């Protein structure tokens, strides 16, 4: 019997998957627990519509992310801060500082968690900082730290 899973079922499949199961398993376990529904033509159409709309939404988000990454890659930030004699900063520049500066100067909202820094910036100079915009889309921002 073909059924459409309404929830994730361990060792059987994920939500909206169409699977073949025995009649008894479907009637005695899956249907009473509302884990699956019979795969009728209407249900199959509904699932395909849902999948296509989800695909379109993901495509649109990916295109928006690529456009944002392109805008971000053109950004060069200059941060002025106090530094010691050897060019070592008093304090450090973190992802939060970079995100706030991008928001102030370029009016682009970026979550501080999406800014990838191995360690906080603790010295004067120029560094390329990666910003993860979308799971497979990232941009590099040039950050220059100068003495105040």
Q: Which has the closest alpha carbon to 110: 71, 57, 54?
A: 71
Is it the case that residue 57 has pLDDT exceeding 90?
yes
Per-residue pLDDT, 142: 92
Residue 87 region by backbone torsions, left for phi larger than 0, else alpha for psi between -120 and 50, else beta: left
Residue 60's pLDDT band, with cuts at 50, 70 and 90, is very high
Per-residue pLDDT, 86: 84
Instruction: Specify the CATH superfamily of domain 66-147.
Output: Ribosomal protein L9, C-terminal domain (3.10.430.100)
* Rounded CA separation 79/28 (Å): 66
CB half-sphere exposure, 110, CA atoms < 13 A: 32
- pLDDT per position as a tens digit, 93-111: 999 999 999 999 989 888 9
Is it the case that residue 91 has pLDDT exceeding 90?
no
Domain spans of the chain, in order of start: 2-64, 66-147
CA 75 to chain centre: 21
Average pLDDT over residues 20-35: 95
Per-residue pLDDT, 119: 87
Per-residue pLDDT, 67: 92
3 state SS of 80: strand
Average pLDDT over residues 73-80: 90
Is it the case that residue 11 has pLDDT exceeding 90?
no
CATH architecture of structural domain 2-64:
3-Layer(aba) Sandwich (3.40)
Q: pTM of the predicted model, to two decimals?
A: 0.69
Residue 5 CB coordination number (10 Å): 21
Per-residue pLDDT, 4: 93
What beta strand segments (E) does 36-75 contain?
36-38
């Amino acid at each position: 019997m073909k059924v459409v899973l309404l929830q994730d079922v361990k060792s059987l499949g994920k939500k909206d998957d169409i699977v073949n199961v025995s009649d008894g398993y479907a009637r005695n376990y899956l249907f009473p627990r509302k884990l699956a529904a019979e795969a009728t033509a209407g249900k199959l159409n509904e699932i395909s519509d849902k999948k296509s709309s989800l695909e379109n939404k993901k495509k649109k988000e990916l295109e928006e992310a690529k456009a944002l990454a392109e805008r971000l890659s053109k950004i060069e930030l200059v941060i002025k801060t106090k530094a010691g004699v050897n060019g070592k900063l008093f304090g450090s520049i973190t992802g939060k500082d970079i995100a706030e500066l991008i928001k102030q100067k370029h009016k682009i909202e970026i979550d501080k968690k999406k800014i990838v820094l191995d360690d906080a910036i603790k010295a004067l100079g120029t560094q390329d900082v990666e910003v993860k915009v979308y799971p497979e889309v990232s941009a590099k921002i040039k950050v220059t730290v100068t003495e105040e």
